[in-house]
Structure 1
Amino acid sequence: MTAALLAMISAAVFGIADFLGGFASRRARVMAVVGLSQFAGLLLVAGLLPVLPGAFGAEALVWGMTAGLAGAAGLVLFYWALANGTMSVVAPVTASTSAAVPVVFGLATGERPQPLALAGVAVALVAVVLVSRTAEAPKAGTTARPVVAAFVSGAAFGGFFILLSLAPDNAGMWPLVGARLASLTLIVTLALATHQTLKPGPGSLPFIVGAGVLDMAANVLYLLAVQSGGMISLVAVLSSLYPVGTLLLARYVLGERLGPVQLAGVGFALGAAVLIAAG
């Protein structure tokens, strides 16, 4: 129950972080938002090391760095797919794949959730697809490449959750330090190679910092859920319900309207959380 609660809070915090990141992206270039938010997250996790101590070791850092590279690669592919494909296709493909991959991994490695929890996982996967749908019309000349990129992006995001879970349970927050160092290095290298600025746009810095701090806080909660003995097939899928939070904030803060499909997705997400927690 503790692991499930931590994962659900993680999803809520991820949702707020994504909302702030999306808001910041309207005022600054995407690479600047990603790079600076990653740096803010690194500062947070470094500050948490004395509070949530763990055993420093090469294994923890290596798993974390590998996870960070997977997450950063997934982010780059996701943005490329959004820019070159149709959002109503790319977003749900990425979201559902990122949720499904840890579930498949967990079951393949011997995890056996209760039937009620497994039913919750199935409902959660449906919820992720529904809340990620948009009413955007397909782009003219859309090819299969953005869809393939969306699948790979989702697999990379799912891999991030898996790789973090493979770090030693006594490692504390060191895997997240390794993850953020690796992802930040990759993003800065890409920015320099493509001559993209990391300078924030006017008025965007508070939103960027907020997004980075909350994103890392959500990662911390996820890692604590895993380290407390939570099954990755349950914890990761609960954390993957974060689009619900982003969607609700867009509705009540920005006044964006929710379609019937998205509203159904919110209902499915609530049902999934209840089933998994009860199981």
Structure 2
Amino acid sequence: MVTLLALGAALSYGVADFLGGAVSRRSTALRALLWCVPTGLAFVVIATLLTGGSPTTSSMAWGFGAGLAGGTGLITFYRALAQGPMSVVAPVSALTSSLLPVGAGLLRGERLDTTVLLGVLLCLVAIGLVSMEENGEERRTAHGPIMAGVSGACFGVFFILLKEAGDGSGLWPLVGARAGNLLIIVVAFAVLSRLRPDTGSKVSGRLLIALALISGVLDAGANALYFLAVQDGMLSLAAVLTSLYPAITVLMARIAYSERLRAVQRIGLAIAAAGVALVTVG
């Protein structure tokens, strides 16, 4: 069950990131997030009320802290996606975000079976291979990978804190997390608006707004799937499998933007499939 939930989160994150990145390229990261995050918050609130559970101070606090880290990660991640290419930004962020939870899981005393451990290691290698870029691309997007690394560190903290938030209070920690997301993004937009009145093009047009709303719902859905996975299993396993989302973003970018998939990236995707298979068997 943990494997299915985490892979479902990876799929949802991957599609959400692609759509959010598409909106960012036509507007700005913050303006895109001002559509995505409130939509995600509304989705989570509805899901939480339908599934039951009662909020506790501890769970909401952990969730809110996770949301602040995640919101910071979203801002830097969407800025990186706007600079592109998606096939570089998403994997760099994912690799960083997976390493922190793995380290935290080991410190917590988590021990994986040999087969599962091998699968996790293959997934980490796969994320690294998919993130390799050509020198020409590196020069063209010098700041993209740096921001992607920063966003990955924030997402790693998000994964860790969300693990701590689970205490039988249902999905309420996710409400706290999305509230934290919204707060950090609104504050960032307000500060940016004061420093620079021209905050970029608005998100306009039915298609662009629809993409932003869908991205928000999918991102919130991915949060929920990861939260359920990490409460049902080990942090290191759930975080690594969830961090395979770049495979989806890369493939969608390949189709939509004709971003070339290099041979090493194809190998990375194949290794990712092998890693998931080993985790599933184990």
Please indicate, yes or no, whether the TM-score normalized by the shorter chain is above 0.5: yes
Q: Give yes or no for contact 2:102–2:240 (8 Å, CA) kept in 1.
A: yes
Match of 2:210 in 1: 206
CA distances 1:142-177 after superposition (whole Å, capped 9, x unpaired): 6xx987655443221111011001013312111111
The residue correspondences of 1:1-279 to structure 2 (distance < 5 A) are 2-78=1-77, 92-135=91-134, 136-139=136-139, 150-195=148-193, 196=199, 199-202=202-205, 203-227=207-231, 229-279=232-282
Match of 2:196 in 1: none
CA distance in 2, matches of 1:88, 1:250: 7
CA distances 1:224-270 after superposition (whole Å, capped 9, x unpaired): 1122x211110110000001111122234454431112111111111
Which TM-score applies when normalising by structure 2?
0.88
1:40/1:85 Cα in 2 relative to 1: closer, same or farther (>3 Å)? closer
Instruction: Give the drift of 1:199.
Output: 3.8
CA distance in 2, matches of 1:269, 1:254: 23
* Bigger helix fraction: 2
Q: Give yes or no for contact 2:25–2:81 (8 Å, CA) kept in 1.
A: no
Instruction: Give the drift of 1:77.
Output: 3.8
Count of aligned pairs:
275
Q: Give yes or no for contact 2:54–2:169 (8 Å, CA) kept in 1.
A: yes
CA distances 1:107-126 after superposition (whole Å, capped 9, x unpaired): 11011110111111111111
One-letter amino acid of the counterpart of residue 249, structure 1? M
SS of 1:111's equivalent?
Answer: coil
Q: Give yes or no for contact 1:33–1:198 (8 Å, CA) kept in 2.
A: no
SS of 1:139's equivalent?
Answer: helix
CA distances 1:10-50 after superposition (whole Å, capped 9, x unpaired): 11111111111122223322211112100110010011012
One-letter amino acid of the counterpart of residue 47, structure 1? I
CA distance in 2, matches of 1:83, 1:253: 15
CA distance in 1, matches of 2:82, 2:256: 25
Q: Give yes or no for contact 1:36–1:198 (8 Å, CA) kept in 2.
A: no
Gapped regions of structure 2 (runs ≥ 5): 194-198
CA distance in 2, matches of 1:118, 1:78: 28
SS of 1:169's equivalent?
Answer: coil
Q: Give yes or no for contact 1:28–1:204 (8 Å, CA) kept in 2.
A: no
1:148/1:207 Cα in 2 relative to 1: closer, same or farther (>3 Å)? closer
CA distances 1:199-226 after superposition (whole Å, capped 9, x unpaired): 4133310000010000111111111112
Q: Give yes or no for contact 1:87–1:134 (8 Å, CA) kept in 2.
A: no
Q: Give yes or no for contact 1:251–1:258 (8 Å, CA) kept in 2.
A: yes
Instruction: Give the drift of 1:94.
Output: 2.9
Instruction: Give the drift of 1:138.
Output: 3.2
Between the two proteins, what is the percent identity of the paired residues? 44
CA distance in 2, matches of 1:247, 1:193: 33
